């Protein structure tokens, strides 16, 4: 082997040694970091975020150290460098080796090559390689050894950190607090299509209503029992752990966990599944149809937070009026969905529904979600109403059925007057003539008042402004009007209002025909009043019966009134004030509570929890969690601030600033809605 070949061999050995040593040092550094992290985590639980960083830090450190060591060791790229390294350890060569491997002198100076060949430098190279590798190898071996000695879970928490691995660092033992460390696994209902989640030592858990909440801890001192509401559930053992499964309730609740003398709270915050949002896009608005025929396109869009299941359009047909309505309903355009949003579409044939003039068709879309645990949630769109116009309202789009006025109520009054007249006639033999006339005139007065009311109704229908107190009628009465003149006036008004477009039976206008029963009642009442005025109730009875019959006929007649013409009844407050026959007994008036009466109580509870922070921090945490539970549905900002403070306290950190923020959130001015305006004095 020539001297050049020997130097080249030494160069390769040195190069490999430098690379291996650098790699071992990097590896040792990475293992050291993992070891240090796992050891620290075993004593002080590192947060998951910090643990997630550890593998990256270890790898970065290893690479950086490897490159740095490699650059510092120098890469012996050529034989000259290797020869110089050997010359430094064998001064007797006096640069013979460097000269021998120099290409400029290669083979020209045999004496130098012979002198260099006599030196055996290979053992020195091997010793140097061993020395360079021994230290890092020992470091790596030591780290590996210690890592193997540590609990597997502890190393895994550092190498593969994951939510829910809090229990890996805890060992079971009869004296261990089984509630000190707990993992909560949330399994949402299948319909939601969400993944399971795990949480280490949470103070509260948010999950869909109906989710399976699995609590898991390491077995220790005493049997773990959970109390939720009024029910108690014992944990079941699973190896060296305990496990409890609860269902997420529909309202926020606190789970109290007990084990021997240990206690812990866990707040369950249900997340409700929203009902689908449905928008009816066609028809776009309510309308009145002239004829119940043709086809109408229906369309709607729907969306849901977890997924739609089915939907359809609902049709309700209402027929009738007054007190007599009938309804029939059906659904069309049923569809199923497999996504979170969808569209419904259908076409209805009005001919097939059998609508009649005056009927109303109410349309809306109904969509259900996939919630098979607490649902399904049902979402409905706004309702569109299509009304089929009656034949006699084609000339005016402003005509609508309006509530009947007092016609039928007048019938009641007329019946009362009739009964009073009959009673008076019956007792006629027992009373004096003066009494008879007095009582008869009293009935006549009521009969006249009722007649005026009927007259008002007639003239209101005829489109004449009667005034609030029936001025038109009064004017006619004041002008010594008689039934014939009223009838004639009504006929004239009807002719003027209707013109020739309205044609009735025989010589009557439809408007007059419509009012004829009331006009007949008006006439009969007129005659009855006259008889009663002269103290002849018996003679008035036939007229009063005729008036009652006419009013009954008017009740059953079809009536159309112009919407908005309903006359407001003005109560004469001064006249009726405290005239009631019965006396009530108002209870003691209780003052309305403040907008948020429980706020003071919550502040007191917070202050009480604060007083426990130094002496019993776990009790303070529990108090804060219970307070947070009360705040969940009324003040989310304060609930969040209190949760942060409770978590900080539970973690054993300084919670001063978090508690200050929580106190501020709790005492901030509540956003209570403005109260209603005042409304008069109490009775």
Partner 1 sequence: MSDFTFCTVQYDSGDWDSAPLVPANLIDSVARYTSISVAPTGVIVPLGSAELFKYPLAYLTGHLPVRFSELERRTLGEYCGRGGMLFVDDHNHDIDGVFHKSAHEEIARAVGPLKELPNTHALYSSFFKFDDGPPATTHELNGWGDNLVHKHLLAVMRGDRISVLYSSKDYSSEWGYHPDNKRFLSVDNTKFGVNIVVYALTR
Q: Which residue ranges make up the site for partner 1 (CB under 8 A)? A: 316, 318, 323, 325, 327, 329, 360, 362, 364, 380, 382-383, 385, 401-403, 406, 409, 412-413, 416, 566, 568-573, 576-587, 589-590, 592-593, 673-683
Our CB check for partner 1 shows the closer of 187 and 281 to be: 281
- Min. distance of Cβ 577 from partner 1 in angstroms? 5
Helical (H) or strand (E) element with 201? none
Query: Of 230 and 587, which has the nearer Cβ to partner 1?
Result: 587
Nearer to partner 1 (CB atom), residue 280 or residue 649: 280
Task: Report strand pairing: 212-218 vs 182-187.
Answer: antiparallel
Phi, psi of 186 (to 5 degrees): -110, 120
Quote the crossing angle between the two packed helices 3-43 and 122-149, to the nearest 10°.
20
How far apart are CB 385 and partner 1 at their closest, in Å? Answer: 6
Contact 392, 562 (CB under 8 A): no
Q: Which is nearer to partner 1, 175 or 589 (CB)?
A: 589
> Least distance in Å: CB of 363 to partner 1?
10
In the complex with partner 1, which residue's Cβ is closer, 72 or 592? 592
* Residue closer to partner 1 (CB basis): 198 or 274: 274
Instruction: Supply the minimum distance, in Å, between the C-beta of residue 589 and partner 1.
Output: 5
Of 470, 425, 428, the residue nearest 451 (C-alpha) = 470
CA atoms within 13 A on the CB side of 371: 23
Cβ nearer to partner 1, comparing 413 with 618: 413
| Shortest CB 660 distance to partner 1, Å | 31
For residue 561, count CB atoms less than 10 angstroms from its CB and return exposed for 0-12, middle for 13-18, buried for 19 or more: middle
CB burial of 354-364 (b: ≥16 within 10 Å; e: otherwise) equals ebebbbbbbbb
Distance CA 2, CA 112 (A): 13
d(CA 274, CA 307): 10
CB of 449 to partner 1, least distance (A): 8
CB of 209 to partner 1, least distance (A): 16
Closest distance to partner 1 from the beta carbon of 191 (Å): 22
CA 82 – CA 8 distance, rounded (Å): 8
Q: Choose between 10 and 518: whose C-beta lies nearer to partner 1.
A: 518
Task: For the chain, give percent helix, strand, coil, nearest 5.
Answer: 50, 20, 35
CB of 457 to partner 1, least distance (A): 12
Going by C-beta distance under 8 Å and a sequence separation of 6 or more, which residues neighbour residue 45?
166, 169, 181
**Cα torsion through 410, 411, 417, 422, rounded to 10:** 170
Closer to partner 1 by Cβ: residue 239 or 587:
587
One DSSP character per residue, 323-369 reads TEEEEEEEEEEEEE-SSSEEEEEEEEEHHHHT--TT-EEEEEEEEEE
Burial of 213 (0-12, 13-18, 19+ CB in 10 A): buried
Cβ-based nearer residue to partner 1, 169 or 599: 599
Give start and end residues of each alpha helix (H) in 150-202.
Answer: 152-159
Closest CA to 524 of 544, 541, 539: 544
Q: How far is the CB of 683 from partner 1 (least distance, A)?
A: 4
**In terms of Cα–Cα distance, which of 205, 288, 135, 96 is closest to 632?**
205
Closest CA to 529 of 544, 517, 548, 551: 544
Residue with Cβ nearer partner 1 (227 or 356) = 356
Beta-carbon count within 10 A of 326 CB? 9
Least distance from C-beta 677 to partner 1, angstroms? 5
Q: Closest approach of Cβ 274 to partner 1, in Å?
A: 12
Of the pair 64, 672, the CB lying nearest partner 1 is at 672
The tokens of 549 are what?
């019959």
* Minimum separation from the CB atom of position 566 to partner 1 (A): 5
Name which of 108 and 330 has its Cβ closer to partner 1.
330
Answer whether 178's CB lies under 8 Å from 219's CB.
Answer: yes
């Amino acid at each position: 082997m020539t001297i050049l070949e020997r130097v080249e061999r030494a160069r390769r050995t040195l190069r490999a040694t430098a690379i291996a040593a650098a790699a071992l040092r990097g590896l040792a550094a990475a293992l050291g970091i993992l070891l240090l992290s796992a050891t620290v985590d075993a004593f002080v639980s590192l947060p998951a975020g910090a643990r997630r960083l550890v593998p990256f830090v270890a790898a970065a450190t290893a690479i950086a150290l490897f490159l740095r060591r490699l650059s510092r060791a120098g890469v012996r790229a050529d034989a000259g460098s290797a020869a110089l390294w050997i010359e430094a350890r064998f001064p007797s060569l006096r640069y013979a080796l460097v000269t021998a491997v120099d290409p400029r002198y290669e083979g020209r100076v045999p004496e130098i090559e012979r002198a260099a060949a006599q030196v055996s430098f290979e053992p020195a190279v091997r010793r140097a390689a061993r020395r360079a590798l021994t230290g890092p190898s020992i470091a790596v071996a030591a780290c590996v050894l210690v890592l193997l000695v540590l609990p597997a879970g502890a190393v895994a928490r550092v190498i593969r950190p994951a939510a829910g691995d809090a229990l890996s660092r805890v060992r079971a033992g009869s004296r261990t607090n089984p509630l000190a460390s707990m993992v909560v696994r949330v399994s949402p209902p299948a319909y939601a299509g969400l993944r399971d989640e795990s949480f280490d030592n949470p103070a509260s858990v948010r999950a869909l209503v109906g989710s399976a909440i699995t609590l898991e801890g390491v077995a220790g001192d005493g049997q773990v029992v959970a109390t939720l509401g009024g029910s108690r559930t014992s944990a079941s053992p699973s190896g060296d752990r305990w496990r409890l499964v609860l269902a997420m309730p529909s309202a926020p609740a606190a789970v109290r966990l007990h084990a021997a003398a240990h206690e812990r709270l866990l707040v369950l915050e249900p997340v409700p599944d929203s009902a689908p949002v449905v928008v009816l896009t066609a028809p776009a608005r309510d309308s009145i149809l002239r004829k119940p025929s043709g086809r109408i396109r229906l369309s709607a869009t729907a969306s849901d937070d977890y997924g739609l299941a089915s939907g359809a359009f609902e049709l309700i047909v209402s027929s009738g009026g007054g007190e007599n309505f009938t309804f029939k309903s059906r659904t069309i355009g049923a569809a199923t969905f497999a996504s979170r949003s969808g569209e419904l579409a259908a076409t209805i044939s009005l001919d097939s529904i059998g609508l009649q003039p005056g009927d109303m068709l109410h349309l809306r879309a109904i969509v259900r979600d996939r919630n098979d645990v607490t649902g399904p949630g049902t979402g409905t769109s706004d309702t569109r109403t299509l009304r089929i116009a009656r034949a006699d309202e084609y000339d005016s789009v402003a005509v609508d059925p309006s509530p009947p006025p007092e016609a039928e109520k007048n019938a009641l009054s007329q019946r009362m007057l009739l009964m009073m007249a009959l009673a008076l006639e019956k007792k006629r033999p027992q009373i004096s003539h003066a009494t008879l006339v007095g009582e008869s005139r009293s009935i006549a007065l009521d009969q006249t008042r009722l007649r005026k009311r009927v007259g008002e109704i007639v003239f209101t229908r005829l489109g004449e402004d009667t005034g609030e107190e029936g001025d038109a009628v009064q004017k006619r009465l004041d002008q010594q009007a008689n039934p014939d003149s009223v009838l004639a006036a009504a006929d004239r008004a009807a002719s003027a209002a209707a013109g020739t477009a309205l044609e009735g039976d025989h010589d009557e206008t439809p408007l007059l025909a419509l009012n004829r029963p009331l006009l007949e009642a008006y006439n009969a009442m007129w005659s009855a009043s006259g008889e009663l005025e002269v103290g002849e109730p018996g003679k008035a009875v036939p007229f009063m019966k005729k008036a009652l019959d006419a009013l009954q006929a008017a009740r059953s007649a079809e009536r159309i009134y112009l919407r908005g013409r309903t006359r407001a009844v003005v109560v004469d407050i001064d006249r009726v004030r405290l005239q009631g026959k019965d006396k009530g007994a108002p209870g003691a008036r209780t003052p309305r509570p403040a907008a948020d009466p429980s706020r003071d109580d919550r502040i007191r509870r917070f202050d009480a929890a604060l007083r426990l922070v130094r002496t019993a921090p776990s009790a303070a945490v529990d108090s804060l969690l219970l307070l947070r539970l009360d705040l969940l549905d009324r003040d989310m900002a304060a609930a969040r601030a209190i949760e942060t403070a409770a978590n900080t306290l539970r973690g054993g950190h300084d919670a001063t600033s978090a508690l200050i923020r929580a106190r501020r959130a709790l005492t901030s001015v509540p956003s209570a809605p403005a109260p209603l305006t005042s409304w008069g004095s109490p009775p």
